[in-house]
Amino acid sequence: MPTPPLHLDTPLFRTPAAYSASNAPLWLKLDALQPAGSFKLRGVGKLCQHEVENGAREIFCASGGNAGIAAAYAGRALGVPVTIVVPETTSEEVRQSIEATGATVLIHGSVFDEANAYAVKIAEERKAAYVHPFDHPLLWEGHGTLIDEVVAKGASFDCVIASVGGGGLLAGIVAGLKRNGLSHVPVIAVETEGAASFHASIAAGERITLPAITSIANSLGARQIAQHVFDLPKHHPIESVTVTDAEAVAACLKFADTYRILVEPACGAALAVADAHPDILARFSNPLIEVCGGIGVSLEKLKVWKEQML
Ligand SMILES: *Cc1c(COP(=O)(O)O)cnc(C)c1O
């Protein structure tokens, strides 16, 4: 018997047509309701489970964001200790929120890349599981379960809208579509201006490293996408679009008021497409939006962003 997955089968909502400027109903896949607050548990849970079944006795991860929170949750569920390596620049608030999950925080290096390299190195030395936030085939396989669930519910959809950071979610959606015989269904890949490493790479025809991230959507703030993700548009229809931070925040506020659930601007970006790009949605009858969630949000943060941008 395979062990059951750590993530939940999340609800699928249908909005009224009047919900967005696209003026058509939208399917919303509510991954904000995953135990670790975002879709990340799908892939991270799968990867950690695989490693522990194959003998790993601890887990290392280098993300102070939702991937780290998902790894901490997975470790607790699997009964193995988790260490999150973060760079010196990580705020006290983030360190405390990681420690509150029961994971150990290790501070190493001045930037993410240094913290990540260190996590890889000690995981290797100690035969521990190492969890990359977006670049691993098992992560993609796990993220793809969101498509399995929508298909199992019998919902028909003719495009998927999802936000892109390093591209693990996008790769997972493409994998999920493929294994359900839906390789013809296009994906609208959304980034905020200032975190658009996928958009820039597609435009340039080569993998671009952004000099800096200037968007508040920090879960989308991978300066460079994975090579696998750069190659995806060669074998799957993918359209890259951007929205502004203000559009993402407005979408978070509207979603909170309507469904009484808070999501990060990284997730607001995907929700914003129906208002910011109604022309794109007009080509489809049944868009599906991945409501990816995220813990980097609070009533207070939304209020500040609203005052700053709207
Ligand atoms: C990680 C994350 C993303 C981006 O996912 P990638 O796999 O890095 O592309 C988007 N939204 C939220 C809330 C996330 O946690």
Range 232-241 average pLDDT: 98
Domain count, the chain: 2
Cβ–ligand 1 contact at 66 (below 6 Å): yes
At residue 1, the pLDDT reads 58
Sign of CA dihedral 155, 160, 165, 168: positive
Question: Domain boundary residue among 131, 165, 194?
Answer: 131
**CATH number, residue 106:** 3.40.50.1100
Separation of alpha carbons 231 and 205, rounded Å: 10
Domain that holds residue 170: 12-39+137-309
**Which token pair is 67?**
């991937």
Domain boundary at 131, 156, 186, which?
Answer: 131
Q: Indicate which atom in ligand 1 lies nearest the CA of residue 65.
A: 15
Report if pTM > 0.75.
Answer: yes
Both 20 and 154 in one domain: the answer is: yes
Are 167 and 19 found together in one domain? yes
Beta strands 238-243 and 187-192: pairing type? parallel
Are 84 and 200 within one domain? Answer: no
Cα(158)–Cα(186) distance, integer angstroms: 7
Q: Choose the final residue of a domain: 131, 162, 190.
A: 131
The residue whose CA has the least distance to atom 1 of ligand 1 is 219
Kindly state if the Cβ of 38 falls inside 6 Å of ligand 1: yes
| Identity of the residue numbered 20 | S
Residue 52 CB partners (closer than 8 Å, separation 6+): 59, 78, 80, 129
Beta carbon of 268 within 6 Å of any ligand 1 atom: no
Asked if 123 and 130 touch (Cβ cutoff 8 Å), the reply is: yes
The answer to the question of residue 4 being in a domain is no
**Alpha-carbon gap, residue 186 to 265, rounded angstroms:** 23
pLDDT recorded at residue 4: 92
Cβ of 169 closer than 6 Å to ligand 1, yes or no, is yes
- Predicted confidence (pLDDT) per residue in 117-161, tens digit: 999 999 999 999 999 999 999 999 999 999 999 999 999 999 999
Computed over every residue of the chain, the mean pLDDT equals 95
CA distance 310 to 305: 8
User: Quick one: 248 and 144 in the same domain?
Assistant: yes
